[in-house]
């Protein structure tokens, strides 16, 4: 402190001069006229040029803080991008489902797939809707892409759906172009089968397969898939028709349950005759 006073005393004229110049400049800055505005803009320009000139010198402390901030910002942005991407995909799916809702003439209930059971024999899904939402066994499950399966069990708030890719699943189906009927079934693998189609009938690769009017469980004309392969075994009466399903069962998230009730009179009559 003493040393400081000594230095001040030694350069008292300069200290005094600088102090009074500083006070004068402060007084000048209180004015608000064109000259002061000009000086302010010149000073800003000068300081900006100076900062620009020395900006190539890296400030390591500032860089460290900036890096940390950027890293945090990067994580936040990544999270936001993921959320947006998810929202976009959900939006696309929902748009498709909305289109389906308008194309089906029966009441439908939207449901989310909350569980999946995959085994080589029986694939099922668990939905977050049950009897409280009006869901009953045998109701069809669909998406905008096509047939998913049918309800096989229900509780108050949940239900189990049997997928098309299930050995116990059967549905009456037809080739849309030639109106050839068959039974939709699955024996494992990626594709379903259209069974009981005689060798003489007109079926070609690429033909669309839809649910048939003969079905007592599904409304007619729900898309199932397209014919992927047709083979004929010697000594066999029927064609082996493989169907590539239009629904991607590995990506099921939102589905609709169609509140479809087959005509009881028809069911009763068919059961009576078949017995």
By CB under 8 A, is residue 91 in contact with other proteins? no
Asked if 109 contacts 128 with a C-beta cutoff of 8 angstroms, the reply is no
By CB under 8 A, is residue 9 in contact with other proteins? no
Q: Which is nearer to other proteins, 13 or 102 (CB)?
A: 13
Asked if 153 contacts 137 with a C-beta cutoff of 8 angstroms, the reply is yes
By CB under 8 A, is residue 40 in contact with other proteins? no
By CB under 8 A, is residue 10 in contact with other proteins? no
By CB under 8 A, is residue 23 in contact with other proteins? yes
By CB under 8 A, is residue 7 in contact with other proteins? no
By CB under 8 A, is residue 13 in contact with other proteins? yes
Asked if 160 contacts 196 with a C-beta cutoff of 8 angstroms, the reply is no
Q: Which of 3, 9, 33, 187 binds other proteins (CB under 8 A)?
A: 33
By CB under 8 A, is residue 44 in contact with other proteins? no
d(CA 170, CA 152): 13
By CB under 8 A, is residue 5 in contact with other proteins? no
Q: What is the 3-state secondary structure (H, E, C) of 102-158?
A: HHCCCCEEEEEEEEEECCCCEEEEEECCCHHHCCCCCCEEEECCEEEEEEEEECCCC
By CB under 8 A, is residue 1 in contact with other proteins? no
Q: How many CB atoms lie within 10 A of CB 262?
A: 14
By CB under 8 A, is residue 24 in contact with other proteins? yes
Stretch that binds other proteins, among 14-22, 90-98, 194-202, 263-271 (CB under 8 A): 14-22
The burial of 173, by beta-carbon neighbours within 10 Å (0-12 exposed, 13-18 middle, 19 or more buried), is given as buried
Asked if 227 contacts 207 with a C-beta cutoff of 8 angstroms, the reply is yes
Stretch that binds other proteins, among 25-33, 155-163, 168-176, 239-247 (CB under 8 A): 25-33
d(CA 219, CA 63): 66
What's the min distance (Å) between Cβ of 30 and other proteins? 7
Q: Which is nearer to other proteins, 37 or 72 (CB)?
A: 37
Q: Which of 1, 2, 9, 35 binds other proteins (CB under 8 A)?
A: 35
By CB under 8 A, name the binding residues for other proteins: 12-13, 16-17, 20-21, 23-31, 33-35, 37-39
């Amino acid at each position: 402190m003493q040393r400081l006073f000594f230095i001040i005393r030694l350069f008292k004229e300069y200290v005094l001069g600088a102090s009074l110049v500083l006070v004068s400049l402060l007084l000048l800055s209180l004015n608000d006229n064109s000259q002061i505005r000009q000086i302010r803009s010149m000073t800003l320009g000068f300081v900006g040029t100076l900062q620009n000139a020395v900006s190539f010198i890296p400030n390591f402390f500032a860089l460290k803080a900036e890096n940390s901030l950027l890293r945090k910002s990067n994580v936040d942005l990544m999270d936001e991008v993921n959320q947006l991407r998810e929202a976009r995909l959900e939006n696309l799916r929902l748009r498709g489902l909305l289109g389906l809702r308008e194309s089906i003439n029966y009441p439908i209930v939207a449901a989310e797939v909350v569980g999946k059971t995959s085994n080589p024999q029986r694939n099922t899904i668990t939905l977050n809707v049950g009897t409280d939402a009006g869901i009953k066994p045998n109701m069809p499950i669909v998406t905008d892409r096509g047939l998913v399966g049918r309800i096989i069990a229900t509780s108050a708030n949940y239900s189990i759906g049997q997928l098309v890719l299930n050995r116990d699943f059967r549905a009456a189906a037809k080739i849309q172009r030639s109106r050839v009927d068959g039974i939709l079934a699955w024996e494992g693998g990626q594709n379903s089968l259209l069974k009981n189609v005689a060798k003489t009938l007109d079926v070609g690769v690429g033909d669309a397969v839809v649910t048939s009017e003969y079905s007592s469980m599904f409304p007619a004309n729900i898309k199932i898939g397209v014919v992927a392969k047709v083979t004929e075994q010697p000594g066999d009466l029927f064609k082996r028709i493989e169907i590539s399903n239009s629904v991607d069962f590995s990506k099921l998230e939102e589905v609709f349950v169609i509140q479809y009730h087959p005509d009881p009179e028809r069911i009763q009559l068919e059961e009576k005759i078949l017995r």
